[in-house]
């Protein structure tokens, strides 16, 4: 994983004017989502080949940072660019949906499954016999998942309080790992 360095990024984009940078960002994102192609030949007068590869990695990292940071001001502070910061932010704003979908697709590719929808309800389980009485709250959870190259899949779960707490803790852990992997240093 690349460690972000604002000095390195400033050096890499110093020869790009704002129009050229916007064009580069849009072509780069198009290449990431397989609807276009980014070619070095179009930018060879601005950047060396070795730096070209570094620049793509930098933009991969900062595009994820843009999606995961809570606000634009925090993104600007982390980015610390000396020029073209507003151009870069506007280009990322225009392509935010594409970037979010790309990140979700990459995340789903780990297991090739993602959660599409869910429904939940609570019910009280009540029973008694000679020796004991049972009053327990259960959570019914229906998960609709989508798997690549297959149809929707429904999974029904019935969880008691302990199991529900365990599921919530697991999902929070996964979210934290995902954020650490894609969003922060």
The residues that bridge with 123 in the sheet, in sequence order, are 138
Q: Summarize pLDDT for 91-141 with one digit per residue, the tens.
A: 999 999 998 888 877 776 666 677 788 888 888 877 776 666 667 788 888
The residues that bridge with 158 in the sheet, in sequence order, are 140
Residue 1 pLDDT greater than 50, yes or no: no
Entry pTM:
0.59
CA dist 69 to 62, 66, 79, Å?
10, 6, 11
> In sequence order, which residues have a C-beta less than 8 Å from that of residue 144 and are 6 or more positions away?
115, 116, 117, 118, 152, 153, 154
Distance of CA 109 to the CA centre of its chain: 12
């Amino acid at each position: 994983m690349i460690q972000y360095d604002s000095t390195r990024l400033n050096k890499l984009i110093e020869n790009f004017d704002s129009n050229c940078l916007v064009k580069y960002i849009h072509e780069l994102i198009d290449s990431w989502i397989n609807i276009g192609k980014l070619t070095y030949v179009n930018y060879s007068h601005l950047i060396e080949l070795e730096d070209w590869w570094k620049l793509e990695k930098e933009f991969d990292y900062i595009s994820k940072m843009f999606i995961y940071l809570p606000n634009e001001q925090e993104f600007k502070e982390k980015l610390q660019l000396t020029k073209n910061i507003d151009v870069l932010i506007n280009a990322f704003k225009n392509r935010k949906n594409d970037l979010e979908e790309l990140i979700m697709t990459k995340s789903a590719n780990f297991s090739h499954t993602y959660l599409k929808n869910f429904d939940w309800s609570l019910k009280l389980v009540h029973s008694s016999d000679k020796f004991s009485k049972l009053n327990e709250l259960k959570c019914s959870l229906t998960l609709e998942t989508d798997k690549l190259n297959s149809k929707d899949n429904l999974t029904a779960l019935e969880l008691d309080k302990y199991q529900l707490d365990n599921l919530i803790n697991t999902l929070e852990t996964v979210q934290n790992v995902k954020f650490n992997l894609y969003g922060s240093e």
